[in-house]
């Protein structure tokens, strides 16, 4: 039997010198190709869990395993983030001094590769996101929906196995939200990626085949 693509075991994390418990022994297993949403009230620990699954943060105790290997021990966190995970953030987190096409390329700069290959890939991804005419625009010249599509293209730049999205529609209107969700579901179906979305929107949370609710640092269902 093959290992799950992601597994969290007894994950514990607190802030403010232990005064605020973010995760209180969370166990989670995600299979390759799963589409999972995680929801919960503010401060429930859902973003903290996503950060740990993505190798952005490390648990105080417990461990995260990628295909059976422990993150931070047998798998280097930087390599994991650059090769296996694509992040999408609520605030987009595009670099303001770079054009759209450069923002996508910047994700590939840390990996060896030819500059023209990086440009070709970034161009293809932005075209896929329907941004063919917006490639040379800076983030402040793009709408919120367009910025998030640039961020999705950037997340896909290194062809990751897992796409992690933290409130991807949190800064968008309903039309753009629907558009972004359609893009994310389409990516998962066409590329067979594992998709994990943290959201506080019930409609999005319930749209996934698997929905995890988290409250006070514990998984409810």
Partner 1 sequence: MVSQLSFTGFAWKNLRRRRLRTLLTLCGITMGIGAFVALVGFSRSFEHEWLRLYQSSGTDIAVVETSFFNSSLDESLGAKIKALPEVAQVAPLIFNLMDITPDVNALVYGWPADSYEFDSLKFTSGRPFHGNQPEIVLGDMLAENMNKKPGDTVTILGETFTVTGIFHGGTALEAGAVIMPLAQMQLIASREGKVTAFHVRLLPTPAGESYDEYVKRAQKEIDALEPGVRAEAAAERAGNNQIVALAHSVAWGTSSIALLIGIVGIANTMAMSVFERTREIGILRALGWKGRHVILLILTEATGLGFAGGLLGIAVGWGALRILSIMPQTASVVSTSVSPIHLIESLLIAIGSGLVAGAYPAWRGARLSPVEALRYE
Q: Which parts of this chain interact with partner 1 (CB under 8 A)?
A: 51, 54, 56-57, 78-83, 85, 87, 89, 93, 95, 97-99, 101-102, 105-107, 109-111, 115-116, 118-119, 123, 135-136, 154, 158
Distance of closest approach, residue 145 Cβ to partner 1, in angstroms: 20
Residue 76 vs 173, nearer CB to partner 1: 76
CB of 175 to partner 1, least distance (A): 27
- CB 71 to partner 1: min, Å: 13
The DSSP-derived string for the chain is -PPPSEEEEEEEEEETTTTEEEEEEEEEEE-TT-EEEEE-STTSSHHHHHHHHTTSS--SEEEEEETTEEBTTTB-HHHHHHHTEEEEETT----TTS-HHHHHHHTTTTS---HHHHHHHHHHHHHHTT-GGGTT--GGGS-HHHHHHHHHHHHHTT--SEEEEESTTTTS-HHHHHHHHHHHHHHHHHH--EEEEEES-HHHHHHSSEEEEEETTEE--
As measured in angstroms, the least distance from the Cβ of 206 to partner 1 is 28
Nearer to partner 1, 35 or 80 (CB): 80
């Amino acid at each position: 039997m093959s290992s799950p693509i992601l597994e969290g075991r007894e994950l514990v994390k607190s802030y403010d010198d232990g005064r605020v418990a973010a995760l209180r022994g969370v166990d989670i297993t995600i299979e390759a190709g799963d589409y999972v949403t995680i929801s919960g009230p503010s401060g429930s620990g859902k973003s903290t869990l996503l950060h740990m699954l993505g190798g952005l943060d490390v648990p105080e105790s417990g461990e995260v395993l990628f295909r059976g290997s422990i993150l931070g021990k047998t798998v280097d966190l930087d390599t994991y983030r650059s090769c296996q995970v694509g992040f999408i953030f609520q605030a987009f987190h595009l670099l303001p001094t770079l054009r759209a096409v450069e923002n996508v390329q910047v994700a590939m700069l840390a990996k060896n590769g030819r500059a023209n290959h990086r440009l070709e890939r970034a161009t293809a991804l932005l075209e896929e996101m329907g941004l063919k005419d917006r490639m040379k625009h800076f983030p402040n010249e793009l709408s919120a929906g367009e910025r998030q599509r640039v961020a999705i293209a950037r997340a896909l730049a290194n062809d990751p196995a897992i796409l992690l999205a933290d409130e991807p529609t949190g800064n968008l209107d309903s039309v753009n939200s629907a558009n972004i969700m359609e893009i994310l579901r389409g990516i998962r179906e066409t590329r067979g990626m594992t998709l994990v979305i943290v959201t506080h929107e019930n409609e999005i949370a319930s749209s996934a085949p698997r929905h995890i609710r988290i409250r006070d640092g514990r998984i409810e269902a």
